[in-house]
Structure 1
């Protein structure tokens, strides 16, 4: 077996827009802007949700070596989803790994990659809710590494939002809603969800405006009060539109929480105000602002896909992706 130290130019990193600035650290916001973010947002950005290592190889064994700072696990997510990696081979799930008691991650996927020497596209997804130091990728001694097959949509879809956006609570890193959509539409993406801290802040809008995206998805409704979503949308969307007036922006409405069965007034206010915001811009001639009805993702009938009545599990994220993908496919002209 041979060890490829990370980073390596043959191992393409996707989903971490500022990686080239700050490598070998895998995080979601750049060091040079650290002082502009609240401390808790910066801390959350150390978890590389949405980060992927992609390459093509004829190796029959693929291993990952990495370390996370601790072995703590939240009560409503798996250790694999929070702290581990998963691997997709030619677009199909092939295995996962989580840290041991010492926080060490070491796994060789030698029973799932293949049985014959041919080139396969490999995608390894990084932890959703834990900082990680990636040390190396392990391959067969005689393995060759080539460029991965490029995404059909090479400019990333950029998602901004909350813990739900970050990936809470997928069972594996590759079953967040963005990951499903990425595989279905063959589209790159960047995950800028911040657990409990998706407040539509101007400093995040400024950072996001550095990314030349194919589409921006605004999904921070779950962290703001009933009246606040509509109030914050103009200040958040405005700077992005100023930089990218022709890039589609999708505003996401609330989906159905289990508690909405008893009182849905908070979410109904958000639905009303977000619809009014999008309608107002559309009537002003903006053809690149779009509204996604959250009930198309998770309605009252799909709440069994929520692990705690709020956060989707992998099934819930599948529902979300099925509801969101048709609109994204349309606005991207696919």
Structure 2
């Protein structure tokens, strides 16, 4: 029997968790940094990270029993590095996981780190299908893959679609690294910020940028100018594994980052979060690098290449960042009642590493993401927490 489809274009009213929507030749591309900010940094790592739609979801109400979504992902391949599985799209109905799908085809970008060459291959539009959905009016969210750039073309249903209504929830903007973005968790709706947002009953904007949580001034201005009721800043791991700065620059950069946000958000609760436990960088500076022995065995793992003796010259480690970030927080909290601090070791510490080790020596797995999300929600959103109205 021929299906009578209703086609709905992807518009800002149909999306949550993005900052800007770019029109492309094949659809629309959600960004998590605006064009003016992207123009201030030519780093390809940031360009990739901000255009991977962590925390972005298609959201609408409908009694449809069938959904098709046309999409064009971009996947990244590194010669000599095991390929990642295709990204998942998580379908949630009335807040619960109801289905998953992956795009069959994709644009592909291949990096050869030995030669420095980059090759691109264009793929076809893929169609995601979700069938046998319950026949009643329902809230529908489709969470986009956190590790694939995703162009969206259109949505097709067999019943009318209405934009998701405002539920009156507070907006929580979180900024962090690839761990905040979701790296090594099972799917886009199981990263620790998404899980914590669900427990806290808040709307999430996830500005987790893989390798790129580097205290950039333009990121601070984006956070300042984005309407949000709650803000958290997870600072540290990328500063170490990029070996970006020394302690002298770190201290002033943290102050400047918070100062810029406070210009536009003088009373919004801001929670500073120090790094999770990561043995390779606890006392050893960066830069970080692939573990070549692990790659030879067909696995992805990372190692620290710095010299611990260089800590005396101000090279950053996770231990030194935690100490200084806590000192900065205490200093500022004396005059800012809306600023708060959370030790990252209380989210994932040495005992957690013994129980749930980091599979690649850097990123937590899905079970650890769940633990981190539960602990963050218990700290931030419960009675007496920095994000609790009371």
TM range (shorter): 0.7 to 0.9
Give the secondary-structure state (helix, strand or coil) at the position aligned to 2:53: coil
Shift of residue 308 of structure 1?
A: 1.4
Give the corresponding residue for 1:53. Answer: 58
Shift of residue 223 of structure 1?
A: 0.8
Give the corresponding residue for 1:150. Answer: 166
Q: 1:333 to 1:268 in 2, by over 3 A?
A: same
Distance 2:320 2:283 in 1: 15
Give the corresponding residue for 1:107. Answer: 128
Tell me if structure 2 keeps the 8 A contact 1:78–1:170. no
Tell me if structure 1 keeps the 8 A contact 2:233–2:270. yes
Give the secondary-structure state (helix, strand or coil) at the position aligned to 2:126: strand
Specify which of 284, 290, 294 is matched with residue 344 of structure 2. Answer: 294
Give the corresponding residue for 1:177. Answer: 192
1:14 partnered with 2:66 = no
Shift of residue 38 of structure 1?
A: 3.4
Specify which of 92, 102, 106 is matched with residue 96 of structure 2. Answer: 92
Shift of residue 128 of structure 1?
A: 1.0
Tell me if structure 1 keeps the 8 A contact 2:23–2:29. no
Give the corresponding residue for 2:299. Answer: none
Which runs of 5 or more structure 1 residues have no equivalent in the other structure?
none
Give the secondary-structure state (helix, strand or coil) at the position aligned to 2:196: helix
Q: After superposition, give the CA deviation of every residue in 1:194-237 in whole Å (9 maximum; x if it has no partner).
A: 21121101121112211121111111311113836544311211
Shift of residue 69 of structure 1?
A: 3.1
Give the corresponding residue for 2:387. Answer: 332
Give the secondary-structure state (helix, strand or coil) at the position aligned to 1:79: coil
Specify which of 302, 306, 315 is matched with residue 367 of structure 2. Answer: 315
Distance 1:267 1:57 in 2: 47
1:167 partnered with 2:174 = no
Q: 1:31 to 1:319 in 2, by over 3 A?
A: same
Deviates more, 1:188-197 or 1:255-264: 255-264
Once the two structures are superposed, the pairs formed by residues 29-68 of structure 1 within 5 Å of their partners are 29-40=33-44, 41-68=46-73
Distance 2:281 2:72 in 1: 40
Q: How well do the aligned residues superpose, as a CA RMSD in angstroms?
A: 2.7
Give the secondary-structure state (helix, strand or coil) at the position aligned to 2:266: coil
Give the corresponding residue for 2:239. Answer: 224
Give the secondary-structure state (helix, strand or coil) at the position aligned to 1:69: strand
Once the two structures are superposed, the pairs formed by residues 167-206 of structure 1 within 5 Å of their partners are 167-206=182-221
How many residues are treated as equivalent by the alignment? Answer: 323
Once the two structures are superposed, the pairs formed by residues 237-256 of structure 1 within 5 Å of their partners are 237-256=258-277
Q: 1:258 to 1:62 in 2, by over 3 A?
A: farther
Q: 1:186 to 1:19 in 2, by over 3 A?
A: farther
Give the secondary-structure state (helix, strand or coil) at the position aligned to 2:32: coil
Structure 1 length normalisation: TM-score? Answer: 0.87
Distance 1:209 1:38 in 2: 22
Q: 1:259 to 1:289 in 2, by over 3 A?
A: same
Shift of residue 52 of structure 1?
A: 0.9
Which runs of 5 or more structure 2 residues have no equivalent in the other structure?
107-122, 241-245, 286-307, 309-316
Rg larger in 1 or in 2? Answer: 2
Structure 2 length normalisation: TM-score? Answer: 0.75
Distance 1:21 1:239 in 2: 30
Deviates more, 1:257-266 or 1:32-41: 257-266
Q: After superposition, give the CA deviation of every residue in 1:263-298 in whole Å (9 maximum; x if it has no partner).
A: 799322111111111100112x21111111212211
Specify which of 7, 10, 19 is matched with residue 4 of structure 1. Answer: 7
